[in-house]
Amino acid sequence: MENINIDKQRHVSNEIEMPLQNGFSNDFDESSVKKYSFLKGSIPRLRDGDPDVDRLISANKPVVITDSKLVQSAKDWNLEYLEKNMGNGKNFVFQSDTRKFMYHDEKRVTQWPGFRRPTRRYEMKFSNFVEMLQMGRERLYLQQTLNDTVGPNMVRDFVKFRWEWCTRYQRLCRWGDLTSNLLLVGMEGNITPGHFDEQENFFAQILGYKQCILFPPDQFECLYPFPVSHPCDRQSQVDFDNPDFTRFPKFQHVKAIEAIVGPGDVLYIPMYWWHNIESLRSSTQSNTFSHEVPPSVTVSVNFWYKAAAIPDRIERPLKANHKVAVMRNIEKMLTEVVGDPEEIGNMLKTITEGRYDHQQQISYDTYHQS
């Protein structure tokens, strides 16, 4: 597992009692934090301006940045404010029969006969989303790209984001353009299961708290991602809460680090780093649903950037994230040429089985020396 070393004197630990920051609210129920045996440490938590923040981001290592004030102008973005100011545009709202909201690509569903959609997607006004939350009959998660349909107050808030802070890292790391800002409004207990993205991400927390569990790219083989052509590409097949070690034996050896992110925090999630994110239960927001009391939710915004351009000269040995990119490109090429997922699996086995094993190579050398 990739190592992250930080001077302990300047590392602010993820204690449950976290200081109030930037005027944001500060509370969550400690009992809602999951305990997993594969958690081996904490993601560094550093104040904006600490030189180690630059070092970690430049090295594609995760870090929680406090006091950045990136989304300070959005500190009032609770359900009531959003309902008044999101405008009349339609928003994507996902419904799940469980607490888990696994993404799937609708365009690939027909290629996998028997595939069962993990969620259902609806389009609705924000006011309708709030009504459904208050009814409390379904588990919901709003995931909407911020666009020109929002009201003028939210436009002003958005413009006041500390964009120069993001731009500085964009230039420092030579990332590409900002691709989108995704607004996430989820019920407490909602889980985005383990997956990785092919973009750089500043994950800004506005309301509520989330447990963020990250796995470095070198844990790829322990997390058993779906095939590239599958509707759930880039996501782990393993149920972290009830892993099947017969099907996924290497998951027994997986290692991860974690952080609790709260209002005002920004978590840098590097490209190809796996992440499992759960909305924690609030200790002050309402845990019941009624028209008089707003339900407990978390609010976050993603800042997604295109990755840096591939360098002209590839350094060897390859880093773990580069290995993942190479493996995915090989798999994509085979998918495009062959098509049949089962045949692709057979071809990959044929290419590697018994040919690159160290003991086999010793036998080969011994044979030709005799």
252-298 per-position pLDDT tens digit = 999 999 999 999 999 999 999 999 999 998 876 544 444 445 568 99
Answer yes or no: are the C-beta atoms of 79 and 130 closer than 8 Å. Answer: yes
Residues of the chain below pLDDT 70: 2-26, 284-295, 358-370
Token pair recorded at residue 295: 């339900």
User: Could you write out the three-class secondary structure of 33-50?
Assistant: CCCCCCEEEECCEEECCC
Report d(CA 363, CA 341) in Å as an integer.
33
Closest CA to 206 of 19, 23, 11: 23
Domain with CATH 2.60.120.10 in the chain: 8-305
The full length of the chain comes to: 370
| b (16+ CB within 10 A) / e for 313-339 | eeeeeebbbbebbeebeebeebbeeee
Report d(CA 73, CA 87) in Å as an integer.
18
Give me the numbers of helices (H) and strands (E) for the chain, helices first please: 9, 14
| Residue 113: other Cβ atoms inside 10 A | 6
Answer yes or no: are the C-beta atoms of 222 and 320 closer than 8 Å. Answer: no
Q: What is the pLDDT of residue 363?
A: 55
Q: What is the pLDDT of residue 282?
A: 84
Closest CA to 269 of 105, 360, 237, 261: 261
Q: Under CATH, to which class is 8-305 assigned?
A: mainly beta
In percent, the amount of the chain with pLDDT more than 70 equals: 86
> What residues contact 253, with CB distance under 8 A and at least 6 apart?
222
Closest CA to 159 of 48, 74, 281: 74
Q: What is the pLDDT of residue 289?
A: 44
Token pair recorded at residue 345: 């699996």
Helix (H, G, I), strand (E, B) or coil at 58: helix
Report d(CA 277, CA 210) in Å as an integer.
7
Q: What is the pLDDT of residue 205?
A: 98
Q: What is the pLDDT of residue 211?
A: 97
For residue 269, give Cα distances in angstroms to 99, 197, 324. Answer: 22, 9, 16
Token pair recorded at residue 191: 């889980």
Strands (E) across 216-337 are located at: 256-261, 266-269, 274-279, 297-305
Q: What is the pLDDT of residue 341?
A: 84
